[in-house]
Amino acid sequence: MNTPVTNRPRFFKVMLFILTFSVSGQIVSAAGLWLPAGARQAGLDHCSVAISDFWSIQNNQAGMALIKSFSVGVAFENKFLIPHTGTGNLAVIYPLKFGNMGLSMSYFGYALYHQMKIGLAYARAFGPRLRIGVQLDYLQTGLGDIYGSRSNVTFELGIQSDVNDQLTLGVYVFNPVPLKLADYANEKIPAIFRFGLAYHFSGKFFATAEVEKNTAYQPVILRGGMEYAFKKQFFFRVGFGTSGDIFSFGFGWHKKHMQFDIGSTMHQSLGFSPQASLVFGF
């Protein structure tokens, strides 16, 4: 009896999709949702843990405690300019009397392989120099038409502390106890730990650096970036890292209640990963 071949083209597409990320030195789950969101962060080579802005809801929830108004944001990254490797982000932050609440959603991949994360976050400032945030996550991973999907629930935790008016320290952890994704090879969703700092040399220029440990990616990752503001509306950014994304750059335009940013990282073998984000405050 002949073997059915109906699903072979799709099977080969899935295998090619996974192989692309194996070449980059990261497994798919590490290269998908778990990178920081926001084009500003992309321009800084994904430095995010000590930065306080709208996309802190995805990157270090403590930072969203400084958001003063109801805000909505969208972002999209096209990994290595491959059509099936896009990551879309949508988030909402709502200020409360005591702290801020936020809801976010991320989707990576396409019909034959995807990862989705839905997060409910809360952040609060404890005095003028300390912020703490936590987020409850619902995760879903789907593979092809016949392999089904797997869902998990985990959490994220972030802390930021302003040592003085110039220096901010940040700590962030995602999924600290790695959850099992599949029985095969005891595959687990990785835990991610980040520690970083941001130093404001002036109101126009700051530099940031951080270190990341991903349990699914053996080397410790180092990142750094710089941002310069021109006339309080235009922002220019550059960054560097050791995770394969060796260089990054970006640009931002912020006007009243709107923030538009674009940025891109450049992988030494696979090329550019552009990202754009738009945030509205009301």
Whether residue 22 has pLDDT greater than 50: no
Rounded Cα–Cα distance for residues 38 and 265 (Å): 12
Residue 189: DSSP 8-state: P
With pLDDT > 70 as the criterion, what percentage of the chain qualifies?
86
In the predicted model, what is the mean pLDDT of residues 202-230? Answer: 93
Average pLDDT in the 108-121 region? Answer: 90
Judged by DSSP in three states, 68 sits in coil
Q: Please count the other Cβ atoms lying within 10 Å of the Cβ belonging to residue 61.
A: 28
pLDDT of 103 over the 60 cut: yes
What would the pLDDT profile of 29-39 be if each residue is shown by its tens digit? Answer: 444 457 899 99
39-56 average pLDDT score? 96
The strand pairing partners of 87, in sequence order, are 77, 108
Task: Note the pLDDT of residue 272.
Answer: 94
As a whole number of Å, the end-to-end CA separation of the chain is 65
The reported pLDDT for the residue numbered 23 is 42
pLDDT for 26 = 45
Count of residues in the chain: 282
Please report, for the chain, the start and end positions of each structural domain, with discontinuous segments joined by +.
8-281
pLDDT tens digit string along 73-84?
Answer: 999 999 899 888
Please report, for residues 121, 170, 231, the alpha-carbon distance to residue 62 in angstroms, rounded to integers and kept in the order given: 10, 9, 28
Please state, rounded to an integer, the average pLDDT across all residues of the chain. 87
Higher pLDDT, 5 or 149: 149
pLDDT for 153: 94
Distance (Å) of CA 218 to CA 24, 27, 81, 179, 197: 13, 11, 26, 18, 23
How does residue 182 score in pLDDT terms, banded at 50, 70 and 90?
A: low
Q: Please determine, looking at this structure, whether the domain spanning 8-281 carries the CATH number 2.40.160.60.
A: yes
Cβ(260)–Cβ(252) under 8 Å? Answer: yes
- Ranking 22-26, 31-35, 87-91, 173-177 by mean pLDDT, the lowest is 22-26
Residue 243 has pLDDT above 60, yes or no: yes
Residue-wise pLDDT for 124-162, tens only, equals 999 999 999 999 999 998 887 677 788 899 999 999 999
Q: Positive or negative, the Cα torsion across 187, 175, 105, 38?
A: negative
CA within 13 Å, CB half, 116: 12
* Sequence-ordered alpha helix ranges (H) in the chain: 8-23, 28-31, 39-43, 56-59
Q: Which residues touch 200 (CB under 8 Å, ≥6 apart)?
A: 165, 166, 167, 206
Average pLDDT of the residues in 246-251 = 95
68: pLDDT strictly greater than 90: yes
Report whether pLDDT(181) > 80: no
